[in-house]
Structure 1
Amino acid sequence: MIPMQIGTPADFAAARTCFAAADYTVEGVCRRLGIQTVYEFRSLRQGREGSPEVADPLDLLIRLFLDGAAVDAVLVHELLPPSGFEALTALGLLDRHPDDPGKYAASVLLYPTESLYIASDLGSDAPGLAREAQLNRPDRVYRAITPNTQVFLCRLPTTPCERFLDLCSGTGIAALVASRYAAHAWAVDITERSTRFAEFNARLNGIDNVTTLQGDLYEPVAGITFDRIAVHPPYVPATEQRYIYRDGGEDGEEVLWRIVARIPEHLRPGGRFFCTCAASDRSGAPLEQRIRAGLGKRHSEFDVVVVTHYEVHPSEFYYRMAAGGRISFAEAEERHRLFQSVQAEQTLYCSIVVQRHTTSRPAVTVRRKRGKMAECGDIEWLLDWSAAVAASDLVPELLDARPVLSPDARLHLTHQPQAGEWIAETCTVAIEHPFPRTVELSPSAALFLPRLDGTRTTREHLQQLQAEGEMSPEITPEAFAAFIRNLVTDGVVQLAGFRLPARSNGSQEAVGLESG
């Protein structure tokens, strides 16, 4: 039984009007609380600084639906318009507090994010109307404004597609965001509670091209294929399942491998699968190779890209948790033995992208470490470029292209004294965006890179370098094009048609393996 009520379209419209009139929007909340994004929100119980007094409708909605605090009934009636109050109570979002009938409290968390309004279950830091037992139920619907959720959503492209599938959907946030660019989106979760929350959220936002279904992973969409599949699965190692949204079996990967195994059944040619999760490298089997193996006999039809956000030895991570009092040292030791038994070398918090080929060509398997400002478009660029190189050596195209040195490239030279002068010993070009890379070059090769300003073709650069005696006449156009191709792969050089997307200011690092 969910705490909300599926009301009439008029009820949902009146609730949206109430929120908008109070400036209960991402921008309004962030301005009021002095934060940059709603993903930085901390409740009063979590130690947020500032006055707890309620001075206007925006303060009231923050206290009720983000802080989960009870507010005096007189103040609620004073600050909420009658139409808004009636809508919120009709939808079951607001009621008298059972322990203090002189106050109102919320039945759910409800917050603006991604230009939507999303409801999820209350928590111990924002209890609202919930009793203690309700705050820790195993099918709890976790909030969609965690930093890890932000990372997940930031990795999803916003280009048009026909069919979008959000697995392990929780609040349905990914499907609801996708409803803007997908002809139709499906939100699937194993719990009835999440499915009902997702349906409520779709109606709250007036969205009619999202279907919410309850079932185990792909079962509710058997026989349907998709252009895009997105999943933020449970990935926290747990010997016993306490929270369905969070716990992913003993090594945290049980749900992930069940999802990967059925990608061939449900991903269309040209379609892409996106996953943000924690998983591990094993002895002799890095994660990207494990993903490929998990695709089964048809793995050669797919490209696999893994971009790591950070890496840590699993035992180190859990001992840190024990030192911080989040788990016992006995639990940390138990998890250490488990990861040792499966030969886990390191745990990765990462983004995984799998693409199905549209034509017969060699498969691509790529792994990179994420730069601080990398975004979804950068991962898609890496996949597009790697697939293009796999399909063709690109030599003719590269010779006629006009390469441009990345503005993020940095040259590092070390010298040693010899015969009374400094002699170049090593030369590297480093790049931090989008993926940190260090490329070793000869000093002469590195020093010509600033000439790559987009005004000359690769062929013209080679001809000029050879005419100036800066490059051996034995270097063929094909070899020089291959050199440029490798620099593009490393992000040092960019080409028209394969330019890296412009960076926004919203990228952030992922924050925790233990979060959902």
Structure 2
Amino acid sequence: MVFRDFAQEIPVRIGTDEEFARVATALKEARFDEETLLSTLKIEKMCDLGSVPLDKVDFTNVSERLKLFIRFFASTGFVPRADVEAALDRATLEAFLSLGILRVGDYGEDQFYSTVFLYPVAGFLIASDRHSYPDGSKFTPSPDIVFPAIYAGTLRFLEIIPKSTAEDALDLCAGSGIGAFVLGRTSVRAVSSDITERATVFARFNIALNQLDNVEAVCGDLYGGVVGKTFDRIVAHPPYVPSLSDTTIWRDGGRTGEALVHRIIEEMPQYLRRGGLFCIVSIGLDTKEGLFEERVRGWLGEARDEFDIIFAYADERTPKQVLSTLAEREQLKPDEIRELAQAFADAGTDKIHYGALVIRRRKETDEQEPWTMRARLSKETKGQDFEWAFAWHDRSLQPNFLDEIKNARPRLAPQLQVQVTYVVHEGTLVPAEYLFDTDRPFELKAQFEASMIPVIMRFDAQHTTAEVYDAASKESELPGNFTLEDFAQSIAQMIERGILKKG
């Protein structure tokens, strides 16, 4: 018997519509979905799938078919023939075998196993490569292994992807295709593009499994598969791990991690339409040349002034801290660490950020100056928050903006939290410091003087900004030289930062 190594060959097969329909129906009827799996396995997020020993799971109220799929795709071990044939009818089992999702015979005629990691994410069923053999033997991954779409970084990427409607969308470094699938919900057409044939086949497989007729998968080096086309949305979650080689395609991002990030942004103006949005989740370096977002504007070349840029970072580390993590995780040798350290030094690296870069190409009629913003990415920040920030910036440039704010009826933002610090004054506790904390649109911590708290508390969605100003002025809660225009400007900033919500 010849062992067929699914780690080195492409395990899945593009079968018939009927076969895909049978497999998808079986999984859906078994309730192989995110909500059911999270509840059954007692996990909080899909990235924890596979971390729970099945002997610790209560399967009392779980159907035999769902239990079978959990054993195949969450545990990824062997399942005896008797259990498989008891849960699946012959036609459905043949469909799983024909598409290459399940196999039997490599480890004996009684041992069935899955060749892929299959899971629900973002409302889709996604197949990607396994990271182990079913018998527990030493696993040798293919250099073009298709990364799971349920890891924390990918899940964050899916939240950041723009959700507004568009005609054409492109997902670069697409892997399993999940980014294009999410884009396809709000775009007329979406394209999944990856450099490897393996990823392209997996994406086409997943397109068929989810019966998506507005998504296609192409193979090419970054934009190589879509030359001559343009898009309203372009997103990317590229490899960005600093490395001395590029053999591990899903991971390696060049010596400083920015190799692909730079190329993607540099070539983007040829493919992004006026009024379009670009989004990339990756690392970005602050160097002697400038902050990451400033360097990005330079990469945009002659078209640089046509773009507005927001960079929201979640993590900030020094090169030394990044190299320390790499040395431990990747088991790098001392000379390899020194070489990477030199690469960061040659680039003049100060800080290394991980976050989301969102760029908007303004419409031809726009005559405003290019705008750049840096923010902190919170766990609650979503793609629509970036779009809101762009729209709010546009409104702030309108000649009647302050009049709009004066007539608005703001209220306290629902996600706002306030921490009050008390100090002892003349033998009693008195509030001395108010720290406002919000996570939408971005993470913000702002300190206010105690004198401003009664003013802020007046915003109840019932009174206009002008009315609050008049009431606060009568109670001497504002400085005497503080005009209504000054007050409206301050309120606009509070709305922009997520402290108040415009009514």
1:260 aligns with 2:270: no
Q: Deviations over 1:366-424 (max 9, x none)?
A: 1111234333333332232233324557212111112223341426567696xx69999
**Equivalent of 2:341 in 317, 336, 343:** 336
The 1-side partners of 2:400 and 2:340 are apart by 46
Distance verdict in 2 for CA 1:422–1:76, change over 3 Å: closer
Q: Deviations over 1:318-359 (max 9, x none)?
A: 314434674445544433332233222222110111011121
Contact 2:454/2:477 (8 A) holds in 1: no
The 2-side partners of 1:325 and 1:300 are apart by 40
**Equivalent of 1:273 in 271, 278, 285:** 278
Distance verdict in 2 for CA 1:168–1:484, change over 3 Å: same
Q: TM-score, normalised by structure 2?
A: 0.89
Distance verdict in 2 for CA 1:73–1:43, change over 3 Å: farther
Contact 1:260/1:294 (8 A) holds in 2: yes
Aligned positions of 1:298-313 closer than 5 A:
298-313=303-318
The 1-side partners of 2:339 and 2:400 are apart by 50
1:431 aligns with 2:410: no
Letter in 1 for 2:301: G
**Alignment partner of 1:262: what SS?**
helix
Letter in 1 for 2:10: I
**Equivalent of 1:195 in 183, 200, 217:** 200
**Match of 1:83?**
91
Aligned positions of 1:333-412 closer than 5 A:
333-358=338-363, 359-390=366-397, 394-407=401-414, 408-410=416-418, 412=420
**Match of 1:502?**
none
Shift of 1:87: 0.8
Contact 1:362/1:391 (8 A) holds in 2: no
Q: Deviations over 1:259-279 (max 9, x none)?
A: 111222211222111111122
Letter in 2 for 1:470: E
1:492 aligns with 2:492: no
**Match of 2:147?**
142
**Alignment partner of 1:448: what SS?**
helix
More deviation, 200-209/405-414: 405-414
**Equivalent of 2:100 in 92, 104, 114:** 92
Contact 1:312/1:348 (8 A) holds in 2: yes
What percentage of aligned pairs have identical amino acids?
Answer: 31
Distance verdict in 2 for CA 1:387–1:328, change over 3 Å: farther
**Equivalent of 1:17 in 13, 25, 28:** 25
The 2-side partners of 1:43 and 1:469 are apart by 60
**Equivalent of 1:123 in 111, 131, 154:** 131
**Match of 1:511?**
none
Letter in 1 for 2:185: R
**Match of 2:5?**
none
Letter in 2 for 1:431: D
Aligned positions of 1:18-167 closer than 5 A:
18-43=26-51, 50=56, 56-124=64-132, 127-128=133-134, 135-167=140-172
Letter in 1 for 2:42: G
Contact 2:286/2:350 (8 A) holds in 1: yes
**Alignment partner of 2:251: what SS?**
coil
Count of residue pairs the alignment pairs up: 489
**Equivalent of 1:184 in 184, 189, 197:** 189
More deviation, 313-322/294-303: 313-322
The 2-side partners of 1:411 and 1:111 are apart by 41
Distance verdict in 2 for CA 1:399–1:43, change over 3 Å: closer
Q: Deviations over 1:127-156 (max 9, x none)?
A: 2499967x4211111111111110000112
Contact 1:109/1:122 (8 A) holds in 2: yes
**Match of 2:237?**
232
**Alignment partner of 2:111: what SS?**
strand
Distance verdict in 2 for CA 1:30–1:147, change over 3 Å: same
**Alignment partner of 1:218: what SS?**
helix
Distance verdict in 2 for CA 1:244–1:22, change over 3 Å: same
For CA contacts below 8 A with separation 6 or more, give which structure has more relative contact order: 1
| Structure 1 portions without partners, runs of 5+ | 497-516
Q: TM-score, normalised by structure 1?
A: 0.87
Contact 1:17/1:84 (8 A) holds in 2: no
Q: Deviations over 1:94-117 (max 9, x none)?
A: 221413332111222222222211
The 2-side partners of 1:473 and 1:295 are apart by 47
Letter in 2 for 1:201: N
The 1-side partners of 2:397 and 2:307 are apart by 12
1:465 aligns with 2:472: yes
Contact 1:361/1:391 (8 A) holds in 2: no
1:294 aligns with 2:302: no
**Alignment partner of 2:35: what SS?**
helix
